[in-house]
Structure 1
Amino acid sequence: MGEVSGYYEPLLKETDEFTGNKKTPLWVSSAKLALKAVMCVIFILWVAFIFLRPAEFMSNFSDTLTNATKGTVFGITGSIFLLFSAPILIIAFLAIPHLILSGEDEVQVKKAGKGASFRLWTFPVLVDGPFGVVTAAEMIGIVLFAVFTVWAVVMYTIQNYKILGEFDVAFKEKCIFLLELTGLRFGFIGLICLAFLFLPVARGSILLRLIDIPFEHATRYHVWLGHLTMALFTLHGLFYVIGWAMQGRLIEELLAWKHIGIANLPGVISLAAGLVMWATSMPGVRRINFELFFYTHQLYIVFVVFLALHVGDFVFSIAAAGIFLFMLDRFLRFCQSRRVVDVLSAKCFPCGTVELVLSKPENLRYNALGWVFLQVRELSWLQWHPFSVSSSPLDGKNHLAILIKVLGGWTGKLKEQISSLSDGNDDQSETQTLLKHYQKITASVEGPYGHESAYHLTYENLILVAGGIGISPFLAILSDILHRINDGLPSLPKNVLLVWAIKNSDELPLLQTIDMEGICPLFSDKLNLEIKTYVTRETEPPLEEGIASKPVSSSCVFPSLTGRRMSGLVGTGHVVWSGLYLVASTIGMVICVAMLNVLYINPFNVTYWWYKGLLFMGCMAAGIVIFGGLVICLWQLWERKTASPKEDFNGADDLAIKQQREPRMDKISGQEQYVSTVRYGQRPDFGEIFGSMSERWGNVDIGVILCGPPALQTSVAKECRTQNLKRRNNQSIFHFNSHSFDL
């Protein structure tokens, strides 16, 4: 809590009760403030230009700027790129020094002060409906895009009728002309939305790290923008189809591939690919058949390439920046995912949950609310599945753990693989077990992704709400807080309530995978921890409750002989190398375009629009692969050089990890340093829970972090909103944070 509401200071740079570190140097604060101001000005001017572009005066101003700058070697393509795409790349460039100055270990917290305050990003406004849970800040974004779309349609409609009034033709010809002109306008509005569409799904993007939006949140924005973009492109194509049908030349126009001007057939192919992706991304299809959604979504390559062929290079440059940043991220992820990662241990729990412990380098940076995408090539070469990290970065320097709930075919096969390895461990030698392991389990990892800052450390009071396997990230949070208390590191949480809803009591052992007293003895002196567990499908405890039953049905530990660790190329990785990769790739693209114009396009008078669009895409790819690829090679060499030789695991290291992750079953809940209750046949009453916490903790900010199914998200968000709206001065403000991932 701060004296000035909403004011944040870096905890590790501030001299306070948690740390004796000095304050942030004045030049660092000034430089960060200046960079942020410049980025804000560029972004506001860019958004204002795009928003006002449909107006006639801004259209004329845009044409004037284009004509004034098209005399360079880059031609009109460079002029349009400068207006529509360059600003977002400039902001990305400026974000690099800003993130470097912010520091890799900086934790942002509010100064202690008088009371709680509302925040747009954590105040749920809508909790039901097609958008799911929407915060106030997200609602502002939705409204802005809706207003822009309506504004653009209205302005372009007015302009269309003005243009139509200048022609003295028959009514039918006027209708056809109006249809085609309207279709053209919808296509332009769709391109503007496309300029934003790929930004949220660049998982390790500098921009996402700058504004601290984790990938699981950004994915929702991509979904919303995808619906809007495809609706506009569908209207774009539909208006043209109707006009061509009225002229009686529908098939001829659909198959036309003009050399000068718009090539229709590539546009048809691009739109068809987009419609297939759109149809299979609907919630019903996506949840019932995820594999169909995943495979058809790879058609984005067809969609983008044929879009470039359809409109040519200079029109495509309107949306080029977002696509370029996505291509940067995709190539980096490809390079990271080629590395095979050692699985140090694997466990199967009776409740149908699998725990994997993966090998990672010591310098891999992530926070407790991280995600990884996992591929097991023996199960599928194409499928990548997201999982929350269940271990704190302080649990160990060289390993990372994830919990996987067995729900479908892929996870079922994974459990069978682990069970088969575990069953054979008793009858085989260690060498045979190792050979069997390396033959059958080969993991590849993308990430970790997540918030740039560990926001769970920014609240003194936390309510963690988990549904089923949603307990996974909260195990990491609890471990992280306990490690920080034990090691004397900055950590703000003083009161933590964990509410866990599960279907059956066989899931209870998952909570015991974290040895709280082993991490931080006598932690109750500094942390008030309460755990409330609700077993919804059982009305009474099972007969064996209270007996120290073994929580793991099968497990196997594999000593790592190869030292194959995760790569730190993607996620919240090294800012300097990420920045060099972005800068080198962008410069490479510019050089490729310039050389292409000087050595080929201008001397040979290449004028085919579709061909120049393809060449422009080639220059984007060449800049990333050649120039960016060189940086990646140097980055990987640097990783190997700076890696400690002690990072290679041996049997002793593996045994230590196993002992650290093995639950302690010899303790009874009542003897521990926290209050733990298990209620059977009940669901959490969030009204009663939140109300009692508000009365107990008083006028404070309470961070509510949720990980669970949509119904649970809705219930918790609705209660947060209700409590905030009826709040009195002496009561708490609840800040809703969702950690639920839904592709």
Structure 2
Amino acid sequence: MEQEQLLSAAYPKNKNKATTRVLLSSAKWVLKITMWVVFIAWVVLMFIVPSEFGSDVYDAMVDSIDGTLYGTTGATFLIMGGPILLIAFLAIPYLIINSKEEEEQLREKKDKKIPRFHLKTFPVLVDGPFGVVSAAELIGILLFVVFVIWAVYAYTVVNIIMLPSYGEETAEEQRIIMVRMTAYIFGLTALSCLAFLFLPIARGSILLRLINIPFEHAVRYHIWLGNLIMFILTLHGLTYFAEWIMRGDFLTQLLEWRSDAGANFAGVICYSFFLVMWVTSLPPVRRRYFELFLYAHQLYILFIIFMALHIGQTYFSKAAAGIFLFMLDRFLRFWQSRRAVNVTSATCFPCGTVQIVLSKPANLQYNALGFIFLQVQELSKLQWHPFSVASSPLDSKKHLSLLIKALGNWTGKLRGTISSLSGEEAQLELPFQPNSKITASVEGPYGHESPYYLMYENVILVAGGSGISAFIAILSDIIHRINEGKPCLTRNVLLVWAVKRSNELPLLYTIGVESVSPYLYDKLTLDIQTYVTRESEPMLEEGNGDSGVNSSIFPVSNGSSMSLLVGTGHIIWPGVYLVVSTVGFVIILGLLDAYYINPFGISKWWYLGILFLGCMAASVLVFGGLVVGLWHRWEKTSSTEESEVYDVAQHDEPVERKDSCREYLARSSTVHYGCRPNLKEIFGVMSECWGHVDIGIIACGPQTLQSSVARECRSQNFGRKLSNPIFHFNSHSFEL
């Protein structure tokens, strides 16, 4: 009888839970299908517009909206930019629902899961100018190439059809007209590509979070698009130069600043800024003169301003949505980076690596494969450098750690500064001098929206040198989750780490786990294979713990914890920020049209273009600033509440013993001297050992290592038998 009562009491709860899950799943699929329909319709429109039929359809759509307050500009922005913003709006509830579903998927492990290929994780190209390219990325590249070729062809056909409408022109005049129209074609094509240029570099963009592509990967797409746009804009400018030379008024046309058409001189200035940014971003220049590249890229502000002056508001509105989303992201980053973040400790290792521990709020959310941008004012007030987070979100409620290897000028200065702080003052236990500190600012954390590495039961991590920092975070996260009974599908992990010298080995023991539960040995099979390539035998004083540490400082700065304004975990506040700012832009643009542009008959293209850009900036500053202010107040309140709960419930104890974790890592480790890892042999052994399963491969290191790992993944997949696993290639590295 009691059992029946218990079952009847539990049944409604289970039924309500199942109903809620079905409703959430249905809502997610409705949102997903809607976003796909909007995106496909937008892409189809982009493809058909260059044709005569598409041009007629587009003109009809503009004419149907043109009668509103916003006129042709509003119609163009709605048609070309509206779909992007609509997808971003729909992504807000989708991401909220998806985060809950992913948690359920991790909790409810499926015993039978059929391995299958994924376009995003199947490497197709592993060498060449594009680096490692997946099947999904190759499809995107081909689509852009096809679009550019098709657009130029279709626009040219339309121009040939329109040529007789210009009247009885001589053959020479017809040639000049065709050259001018060809230049116009290149301009329209470049403008279509510009609609995508700023989307990949909005670091905390909802769109990037929607497709689960972190900024470290998306920045490659920005580089590819930048090169393509540079090529098209060069053709655009050269063909206009050819037309002016053919007309015999080159200098007059070059300096012309027309009000009823494109301002030529503004276009020349705009192209000059883009050219400087492009030249300084070329690999030989960027790698040797990184500071020059960094400072030159700030010219994007002037590039956008003069582009608006050059093409006017109607044409500018075609690419405005992507620029608007970037402006929103940049404004958030500005406010987050204004805060001085407390560096609670810094540790130097003899291998040239520095461990920095930053203070963070207890409710900051991020994934183990995250990264931040770090600025140290004592080194440079303008330079921001990206670093992988070397700690799990479960390591500490109050701290986040980085492992930074001194490889370049900036990182070398950072290590020197920390070493000087730990020198005489640390040894004599003297108080720090006023200038003996590190003033750090942080942007991020950024990264994958979901911890995809937890979705694989079998994982192979391949690291080169300092690339181990990201995998320290992953291992720590997996161990924490298994220890604490949190959702985690990973059960087999192979770590392959190649280093030059054995003095880098102590880095592995920075994993922030105080203790290892006894049942961890039964739930996680960990195999660490380390290859010391430039030493033939172990050093006499080689250790596996703190023996490699030669200096430590507590603390080295005064500041507060990191800001919550930018991160991968929160979605409601970024969603409100996006929606309110967009609505504010529509309101400001409508007021400007109603009370200034239309009553006073403002018609100058360049002036309207700068007014349109000004409305975008004003909406971000005023409406977006209002949301940021409320967000900041919520952050203070929630951080205080979380801190109080944390202080009562638990405390971080960095001095606590880690012997059990070190013992576990030592038992799982094998060190090979004087050789490099044989990936073919390693992958082959794992293929035979694990069988017909999905294996997640994550590579972190230089481009050569990533290419080698991707090549072996591709080889294993192409030559696999039905009983062999499928290797899914993922990379984690950042190179601007």
Question: TM-score normalised to the size of structure 2?
Answer: 0.93
Q: Does 1:233 align with 2:226?
A: no
2:539 aligned residue: 542
Q: Does 1:486 align with 2:506?
A: no
Please give the per-residue CA displacement for 1:389-448, whole angstroms capped at 9, x wherever unaligned. 000000011110011110111111111111111113445556x23x55x75211100000
2:527 aligned residue: 530
Describe the shift of the 1:465–1:310 C-alpha distance in structure 2 as closer, same or farther (beyond 3 A).
same
CA drift at 1:522: 4.7
Distance in 2 (alpha carbons) for counterparts of 1:516 and 1:618: 51
CA drift at 1:259: 1.4
State the SS of the aligned residue for 2:423. helix
2:264 aligned residue: 264
1:512 aligned residue: 509
Q: Verify the 8 A CA contact 2:123 2:713 in the aligned structure 1.
A: yes
Please give the per-residue CA displacement for 1:559-606, whole angstroms capped at 9, x wherever unaligned. 9876x1101111214211101100111011111101111111111111
Out of 39, 44, 60, the residue aligned to residue 43 of structure 1 is 39
Distance in 2 (alpha carbons) for counterparts of 1:263 and 1:399: 53
Q: Verify the 8 A CA contact 2:395 2:512 in the aligned structure 1.
A: no
* Paired AA for residue 578 in structure 2: L
State the SS of the aligned residue for 1:333. helix
Distance in 2 (alpha carbons) for counterparts of 1:637 and 1:373: 24
Q: Does 1:580 align with 2:576?
A: yes
* Paired AA for residue 150 in structure 2: W
Please give the per-residue CA displacement for 1:237-258, whole angstroms capped at 9, x wherever unaligned. 1110111112221111111111
Please give the per-residue CA displacement for 1:8-63, whole angstroms capped at 9, x wherever unaligned. xxxxxxx99xxxx9686221111111111111111111111011111110101111
Distance in 2 (alpha carbons) for counterparts of 1:550 and 1:652: 35
CA drift at 1:175: 2.1
Question: TM-score normalised to the size of structure 1?
Answer: 0.93
1:641 aligned residue: 637
Describe the shift of the 1:105–1:399 C-alpha distance in structure 2 as closer, same or farther (beyond 3 A).
farther
* Paired AA for residue 504 in structure 1: R
Q: Verify the 8 A CA contact 2:201 2:222 in the aligned structure 1.
A: yes
Out of 543, 546, 551, the residue aligned to residue 548 of structure 2 is 551
Q: Verify the 8 A CA contact 1:560 1:648 in the aligned structure 2.
A: no
Q: Verify the 8 A CA contact 2:254 2:264 in the aligned structure 1.
A: yes
CA drift at 1:78: 0.5
Counterparts in 2 of 1:203-602, with a 5 A limit? 203-429=203-429, 432-433=431-432, 436=434, 439-514=436-511, 518-545=515-542, 550-558=547-555, 564-602=560-598
* Paired AA for residue 614 in structure 1: I
Q: Verify the 8 A CA contact 2:120 2:136 in the aligned structure 1.
A: yes
Out of 616, 630, 641, the residue aligned to residue 626 of structure 2 is 630
CA drift at 1:304: 0.8
Describe the shift of the 1:114–1:29 C-alpha distance in structure 2 as closer, same or farther (beyond 3 A).
closer
CA drift at 1:387: 0.3
State the SS of the aligned residue for 1:544. coil
CA drift at 1:381: 0.6
2:9 aligned residue: none
Distance in 1 (alpha carbons) for counterparts of 2:544 and 2:242: 73
Counterparts in 2 of 1:11-26, with a 5 A limit? 25-26=21-22
1:135 aligned residue: 134
Q: Verify the 8 A CA contact 1:559 1:651 in the aligned structure 2.
A: no
1:30 aligned residue: 26
CA drift at 1:697: 0.2
CA drift at 1:516: 5.4
Gap regions ≥5 residues in structure 2: 1-12
State the SS of the aligned residue for 1:59. helix
* Paired AA for residue 607 in structure 1: S
Distance in 2 (alpha carbons) for counterparts of 1:63 and 1:314: 13
Describe the shift of the 1:560–1:236 C-alpha distance in structure 2 as closer, same or farther (beyond 3 A).
closer
Distance in 1 (alpha carbons) for counterparts of 2:620 and 2:428: 48
1:3 aligned residue: none
Q: Verify the 8 A CA contact 2:346 2:556 in the aligned structure 1.
A: no
State the SS of the aligned residue for 2:257. coil
Distance in 2 (alpha carbons) for counterparts of 1:652 and 1:37: 46
1:158 aligned residue: 157
1:9 aligned residue: none
2:730 aligned residue: 737
Describe the shift of the 1:518–1:466 C-alpha distance in structure 2 as closer, same or farther (beyond 3 A).
same
Instruction: Single out whichever of 647-656 and 464-473 deviates more from structure 2.
Output: 647-656
* Paired AA for residue 142 in structure 1: I
Distance in 2 (alpha carbons) for counterparts of 1:472 and 1:645: 31
Gap regions ≥5 residues in structure 1: 1-14
Instruction: Single out whichever of 322-331 and 293-302 deviates more from structure 2.
Output: 293-302
Q: Verify the 8 A CA contact 2:343 2:558 in the aligned structure 1.
A: no
Distance in 2 (alpha carbons) for counterparts of 1:362 and 1:593: 40
Q: Verify the 8 A CA contact 1:125 1:136 in the aligned structure 2.
A: yes
2:61 aligned residue: 65
Distance in 2 (alpha carbons) for counterparts of 1:552 and 1:46: 56
Q: Verify the 8 A CA contact 2:183 2:237 in the aligned structure 1.
A: yes
CA drift at 1:659: 2.4
Describe the shift of the 1:346–1:23 C-alpha distance in structure 2 as closer, same or farther (beyond 3 A).
farther
* Paired AA for residue 273 in structure 1: F
Q: Verify the 8 A CA contact 1:192 1:318 in the aligned structure 2.
A: yes
CA drift at 1:654: 13
CA drift at 1:114: 4.8
State the SS of the aligned residue for 1:132. coil
Distance in 1 (alpha carbons) for counterparts of 2:557 and 2:540: 40
Q: Percent identity?
A: 57
State the SS of the aligned residue for 2:539. coil
Distance in 2 (alpha carbons) for counterparts of 1:398 and 1:67: 57
Describe the shift of the 1:505–1:373 C-alpha distance in structure 2 as closer, same or farther (beyond 3 A).
same
Q: Does 1:102 align with 2:64?
A: no
Distance in 2 (alpha carbons) for counterparts of 1:666 and 1:607: 71
Q: Verify the 8 A CA contact 1:464 1:705 in the aligned structure 2.
A: yes
Pairwise CA RMSD of aligned residues? 2.5
Distance in 2 (alpha carbons) for counterparts of 1:614 and 1:515: 52
Distance in 1 (alpha carbons) for counterparts of 2:678 and 2:404: 27
CA drift at 1:547: 8.6
Distance in 2 (alpha carbons) for counterparts of 1:25 and 1:513: 40
Q: Verify the 8 A CA contact 1:514 1:663 in the aligned structure 2.
A: no
Distance in 2 (alpha carbons) for counterparts of 1:650 and 1:79: 52
Distance in 1 (alpha carbons) for counterparts of 2:23 and 2:553: 53
Distance in 2 (alpha carbons) for counterparts of 1:519 and 1:593: 59
* Paired AA for residue 396 in structure 2: G
Q: Does 1:618 align with 2:617?
A: no
Distance in 2 (alpha carbons) for counterparts of 1:467 and 1:672: 19
Describe the shift of the 1:724–1:169 C-alpha distance in structure 2 as closer, same or farther (beyond 3 A).
same
CA drift at 1:93: 0.8
Q: Verify the 8 A CA contact 1:344 1:654 in the aligned structure 2.
A: no
Distance in 1 (alpha carbons) for counterparts of 2:20 and 2:215: 29
* Paired AA for residue 508 in structure 2: L
Describe the shift of the 1:721–1:498 C-alpha distance in structure 2 as closer, same or farther (beyond 3 A).
same
* Paired AA for residue 133 in structure 2: V
Distance in 1 (alpha carbons) for counterparts of 2:501 and 2:521: 29
Distance in 1 (alpha carbons) for counterparts of 2:261 and 2:545: 75
State the SS of the aligned residue for 1:550. helix
* Paired AA for residue 722 in structure 1: S
Q: Verify the 8 A CA contact 1:475 1:514 in the aligned structure 2.
A: yes
Q: Verify the 8 A CA contact 2:516 2:661 in the aligned structure 1.
A: no
Distance in 2 (alpha carbons) for counterparts of 1:679 and 1:427: 37
1:711 aligned residue: 704
Distance in 1 (alpha carbons) for counterparts of 2:501 and 2:588: 60
